[in-house]
Amino acid sequence: MNIGICPSTLQQGYDTYSQKALDILFMGKKVSHILPYVNIDPNVNSDYLKGIRKISVSGAQPKLSLVVEGDKLIYTPKGRQGLFILKPPPKSYLFANEDYFPANENLSMQLASQVYGIETAANGLCFFQNGMPAYITRRFDINESGKKITQEDFAALLNVHGEESGSIFKYINFSYEDCANVIKKFSASPEEDLKKFFRLVVFNFIILNSDAHIKNFSMIGTDHKSLRLSPAYDLINTSLHLPSEHFDTFALEKGLLNNKHWDNKMIPSRKDFLDFGIAIGLDKDYTIQQLDFFAEEKPAAYSLIASSFLNDELKEQYRSRYDYRRKILMPDY
């Protein structure tokens, strides 16, 4: 597949991964963006959602394990530790624009890291030989020597569990204030992690990610006494794929705060986010500064959207909806 854009950083003028992308994603090793497979094996993962009360985007995507062999990405052989996760487009009647899931996630993750300075899992796109794109991310719970690092998602830290992937437990009974309390309880550096968490919640709002549920936040560390908020993952503009009747403002039904009744079809105001920041323990001036930062027009964001692998219609939808959401955070909106 011929391309003119780095399928990771979205920089113009590359027919494969840029050196910057190779350094971040593959520790400098030269790797092809073309997979040695014609298409995904339909038997690898066919466990899709069949329609539940809440549509889980991340839960519906097939996930495959990869390693690098020579200059190619291959499915992880038996007995080896996979270092990468591959997410081809889901195939389900529940979603629109399915083929653009990978491009959407790559764009959203690059916006987070390049424009907003949010630490994210290393990521990019690769392509099957039939041209189908897939999203790839490097596992941050495996170190360079292949050793597993302690990782606990917020569902585990809140001691709640579901019987199947995508079940409703990920969305109900909790607010983002409850997630902040998890950080206060388990983080080795809660003040810094609360700031990171606040910025991530605001970012998810402005890109219309309504799938930031309790399993999409994690703590990670060398042991349970040194846990820190993990890099961000599973960032995506869900409005491009969900029918309007299934689209909520937040993934968590209780919204930002426990003491405020929340209708998840409502749109929060700048004051709601200010109240949220203060409630979780952030300094008021810091919270205002961050809201101003996220409300600002960012030419670099528009450039990334324009360079992304979305089609022209979805690029315009992404840009216009993102613009609308960030403007809500303006002081005079």
Confidence of residue 163 (pLDDT cuts 50, 70, 90): low
The pLDDT tens digits for 258-269 are 988 889 889 999
Domain borders along the chain are: 19-138, 150-328
- pTM of the predicted model, to two decimals? 0.93
d(CA 310, CA 275): 35
In this predicted structure, what is the pLDDT of residue 108?
98
Contact criterion met (CB below 8 Å) for 133 and 125: yes
At residue 58, the pLDDT reads: 60
92: pLDDT strictly greater than 80: no
List pLDDT tens digits, range 22-69. Answer: 999 999 999 999 999 998 764 444 333 333 344 456 656 789 999 999
HEC letters along the chain: CCCCECCCCCCECCCCCCHHHHHHHHCCCCCCCECCCCCCCCCCCCCCCCCCCCCCHHHHCCCEEEEEECCEEEECCCCCCCCEEEECCCCCCCCCCHHHHHHHHHHHHHHHHHHCCCCECCEEEEECCCCCEEEEEECCCECCCCCECEEEEHHHHCCCCCCCCCCHHHCCCCCHHHHHHHHHHHCCCHHHHHHHHHHHHHHHHHCCCCCCCHHHCEEEECCCCCCEECCECCCCCHHHCCCHHHCCCCCCCCCCCCCCCCCCCCCCCHHHHHHHHHHCCCCHHHHHHHHHHHHCCCHHHHHHHHHCCCCHHHHHHHHHHHHHHHHHCCCCC
- pLDDT tens, position by position, 167-204: 689 999 999 999 999 999 999 999 999 999 999 999 99
pLDDT (tens digit, 9 = 90+) per residue, 131-146? 999 999 999 999 877 8
Is residue 233 over pLDDT 90? Answer: yes
The CATH code that applies to domain 150-328 is: 1.10.1070.20
200 and 232 in contact (C-beta within 8 Å)?
yes
Cα–Cα dist 124/73, whole Å: 13
**What residues contact residue 15 under an 8 Å CB cut-off, 6+ apart?**
2, 3, 4
pLDDT at 94: 84
Q: How far apart are CA 122 and CA 131, in angstroms?
A: 22
Nearest residue to 111 (alpha-carbon basis) of 239, 16, 203, 5: 203
